[in-house]
Chains A and B, each alone.
Chain A
């Protein structure tokens, strides 16, 4: 099982405790540079960037740029990278990172072909590495480290884990949680693709044993059956922290892709009804609106007291 906090924070005896190095792949692109700056401003320790052909330059006069991930890893010993390259170059960038020893790869690009994702996942498995995404907003421990594209405002440090397939809904619901006094211990964007490097069940494994975890929020959407699998896993594992879910796409027509490559109902497979009924079976209330999530969570907490 992945020790995600070990990767993101490290141990108190580490010299780089709570400032683990992050390499930005595609740091000189418009999107990569914008978010590299935002991550640095948030406090993330961006130690290097990679753009083939631009090695030797510096990003913002500070962060060294390398031609390859091998060079960047050799120079910094970083174990985390975030990828901003165009979708068709994702597989190449991911291989470059995993071969160089990256253990946590955050894959931002949308529209990565499924076959490329699966190939990258095969390699990650061989190397004992974790991929978050593709098509994810990223992962963060609020007020400590942000590896992603999320705006900082909705998030506040706290004790609720938020797992989400959608980016903007992650912001929306975290915002509602924060306003209701529920800070977040960690937020993990699963991504909106059909095949996810880290599925909801994997993300659940990452957060379920956080010592001071007080609750969990799952933001799902139509398509696939990862919400159903998660609900089953919660039942099987006896996880008893207050948990609330939200599912987007109840009103979506069948057999149409709703923006995300993975958001499609085929027959009954992937339908909102199926997900809601599995969560109900796991005794997890499903909010009708994002704003209802903190209300239901507070209700759950009262009951568990």
Chain B
């Protein structure tokens, strides 16, 4: 899970990393109150869990009440990379001397944590020049290493001390909260040579959530995602009209790819996990029935041990209970597939022997 900027900054504050004054709000009434408390000038920053906010107009300077009344709703109404504003952060304007880059991330290929630092921050990481890269095992950063990083960034005196201090706190945060990525970009040297985190990015390792009840308040899930999780499914909502269901993340991704190649538009990615039972398939259909945009359901199950008749039962029950009234295009690999096909005769579920046939039928089916 990627936290929003203001949530990442809450954690930064807890760990003593220097920040500008800021307040988050979710509506303009609240925002007006905060504007008074904070005082002009400040920056209005959209809170979305994706990058590229500045380019998309999601970060606006604000000098007075008139500007505020125009810009706050403008920023609130933006959608960036499909993400609507979750909140608005008002943050004091900064008097910056220089922008740096600093992050600690889980280096998947090296299988260790790694520092990236640069004296040329403020741009997206792909464009950050002169990167200083240090592998740090499980995330520990010694004084010596932090000093070395500051030195390689070309810093001296007070700014160097500030970077050393920030880096050590960032390391502690990474370790204690089990982050996959903690990034400060830009990390600014202010006119008075203090160091401030102007932005914050924090990605958690969701598999360690059970050890971090304190991060639970940042979990933001739709009702349907929560239900999927309870059933042990993985669900990603997409904006097309064909729901894609299967067992195993790789197989469902593969089905999504093939559907898109054939001109279909997936409405969701739903992985019911390794096995497939009558209950799990029925549960998956229940979830899909709650997505309004769905016109058809594409099911791709590779059941090594699974009996396809068991899956067929789930479809029949879903129609019987009036849970769904949609056509299902299904490829079921497993045993007893002839019997399953027979069972489903006359129902709105069609069984195909290959996924390609099921996909073609689904794409044609939702057009009509």
Contact = CB atoms under 8 A, between A and B. Distances in A.
Contacts of B258: 288-289
A114 B208 contact: yes
Given A250-B257, A259-B271, A267-B51, A168 B248 contact: yes
Interface in A274-302: 288-291
A168 B260 contact: no
Report the interface size class on chain B: 35 or more
B248 A252 contact: no
Contact of B253 (A114, A221, A288): A221
Contacts of A195: 106, 108, 111
A249 B108 contact: no
A289 B331 CA distance: 15
Nearest to B211: A113
A256 B250 contact: no
B133 interface: no
Contacts of B124: 267
A222 B257 CA distance: 12
A248 interface: yes
Given A256-B236, A268-B126, A263 B253 contact: yes
A14 B94 CA distance: 72
Contact of A169 (B138, B206, B250, B333): B250
A114 B354 contact: no
B39 interface: no
B131 to A, nearest CB: 14
B250 A88 contact: no
Contacts, number: 159
A113 B207 contact: yes
A129 interface: no
Interface stretch (A58-66, A96-104, A115-123): A115-123
B249 A113 contact: no
A257 interface: yes
A69 B12 CA distance: 42
A124 B167 CA distance: 30
B178 A113 contact: yes
Contacts of B210: 88
Contacts of B248: 166-169, 259
B73 to A, nearest CB: 26
Nearest to B235: A259
B274 A149 contact: yes
B81 interface: yes
A262 interface: yes
B302 A114 contact: no
A154 interface: yes
A226 B250 contact: no
A260 interface: yes
A208 interface: no
Interface in A190-207: 192, 194-195, 199
B277 interface: no
A255 interface: yes
A267 B106 contact: no
B180 A229 contact: no
Interface string A145-181: 0000111111000000000111111111001000000
B109 A224 contact: yes
A171 B304 contact: yes
Given A114-B208, A261-B207, A248 B106 contact: no
Interface string A182-220: 000000000010110001000000000000000000010
Given A114-B106, A114-B180, A289 B271 contact: no
B2 A221 contact: no
Nearest to A170: B250
Contact of B250 (A168, A251, A266): A168
Interface in A21-73: 38
Interface string A227-266: 0010000000000000000101111111111111111001
A260 B257 contact: no
A219 B180 CA distance: 25
Interface string B117-134: 000000011100000000
Most buried by A among B111, B125, B256, B305: B111
B257 A225 contact: no
Nearest to B49: A255
A119 B139 CA distance: 12
Given A171-B302, A219-B250, A289 B356 contact: yes
B296 interface: no
A226 B108 contact: yes
B251 interface: yes
Nearest to B138: A118
Contacts of B311: none
B164 interface: no
Contacts of B50: 255
A222 B253 contact: yes
Given A154-B304, A171-B304, A251 B109 contact: no
Nearest to B303: A151
A272 to B, nearest CB: 8
Interface in B163-190: 178, 180-181
A224 B108 contact: yes
B106 A260 contact: no
Nearest to A251: B260
Contacts of B254: 169, 172, 246, 248, 289-290
Query: Considering the complex of A and B, which 5 residue pairs feature the smallest CB-CB distances, nearest first?
Result: A151-B304, A166-B250, A259-B249, A168-B248, A113-B208
26 contacts: A113-B207, A118-B112, A121-B111, A151-B305, A166-B253, A167-B274, A168-B302, A169-B254, A171-B302, A192-B249, A195-B106, A221-B249, A221-B250, A225-B108, A226-B108, A249-B256, A251-B259, A251-B260, A251-B266, A252-B236, A252-B256, A257-B234, A259-B271, A260-B250, A262-B108, A267-B125
Given A168-B247, A229-B109, 6 more contacts: A113-B208, A115-B208, A119-B138, A166-B250, A167-B274, A168-B248
